[in-house]
Amino acid sequence: MEAKIGGCNMKKLAILIILCNLTLCTYAKYSGGTGKQNDPYLISTPEDLQYLSDYYDGGGYFKMVNDIDLSGFPLTPIEQFGREFDGNGYAIHNYEPTNPCSSIGLFGYMTTGKIKNLTLVNPFAQCLIYSETDVGLLVDTLYRGQVTNCHVVAGHIEKIYPWPPGVYNFSVGGLVGRIYDEGTVDNCSIIDTVVIGVGAGGIAGENRGAIRNCFAFNVDADGGYSSGGICGSNLGEILECAAHGNIYAKTSAGGLIGSIPGPPAGHRFNPVVRQCYAFCTVSSGYYSGGFV
């Protein structure tokens, strides 16, 4: 009788150990949390960010719980993101992407969802070989969704310049590379940041969505085709924004917007600019304006 009881107890113990290990593996993905809205995955280390990049499956909520220093830890960008990342008022310092000629933004392609309350301090990305992709220090392409209360301080983003003849269709932004029709950036800022590319802008390289209540202070934007303090080119909405800095382009430069081009096929053309200001030094080989 004792042997049978002992055998049953051993089986129960083995099952319990397996269940505990599975639970530990679930939580070991990050520094805590289950990924639910009321219990987000907790991000506190460079390894947490790399795990998010390597294994993100399209769902889950994420929340930073402290500043993170990535010095000596090149990070693979989070290729596609579609839920919610809350920086919680904390900063990521010294971000550098592992392959800046493939993807630069901490988040490569945002399909929906929200990134909020996050600051990048001293991020650096430089690509000196030709690659035809839109890039920004926080998000490369904001297709849908929202970036709110996010900031870049003392950043540098650079993509091949001069560019191959006849190529005008990639954008470089201090925060976001390109904002599409259903993308929104609000209450964001760029401070003491250098942006160099074909279409260069302090907040975004190109805007087809909405930029609201944003400012760029002491930004150096150097564009091949077009360059502006807030965005290189605009097809969307810009409200209550301000820019300060030095703006240069070989073709079109403006203190707030580098150019307002014709609409690409399949996209709306309804540019709106209201209650905006520009205090920039502007120069260009062809067209330049204090505002556009």
Rounded to whole angstroms, the Cα distance separating 248 from 7 reads 79
- 8 A C-beta contact, residue 73 and residue 45: no
Other C-beta atoms lying within 10 Å of the C-beta of residue 134: 29
Rounded to whole angstroms, the Cα distance separating 205 from 172 reads 4
> What CATH topology corresponds to 78-289?
Pectate Lyase C-like (2.160.20)
- 8 A C-beta contact, residue 41 and residue 29: yes
Question: What amino acid occupies position 32?
Answer: G
Take residue 198 and report the two structure tokens written for it: 């074909």
> For position 191, what pLDDT does the model report?
98
Take residue 227 and report the two structure tokens written for it: 């360059």
Low-confidence ranges of the chain (pLDDT < 50): 1-5, 13-27
- 8 A C-beta contact, residue 158 and residue 194: yes
In the chain the first and final C-alpha atoms are separated, in Å, by: 89
> For position 291, what pLDDT does the model report?
80
Q: Which residue has the tokens 């001293």?
A: 122
Sorted by where each begins, the domain ranges of the chain are 1-29, 78-289
> For position 190, what pLDDT does the model report?
97
3-state helix vs strand vs coil in the chain, percent to 5:
15, 50, 40
- Mind listing the pLDDT tens digit for each residue in 91-150? 999 999 998 888 899 999 898 889 999 999 999 999 887 777 899 999 999 998 999 999
> For position 266, what pLDDT does the model report?
62
> For position 13, what pLDDT does the model report?
47
- 8 A C-beta contact, residue 139 and residue 171: no
> For position 99, what pLDDT does the model report?
87
Q: Which residue has the tokens 């150990």?
A: 17
Rounded to whole angstroms, the Cα distance separating 242 from 283 reads 18
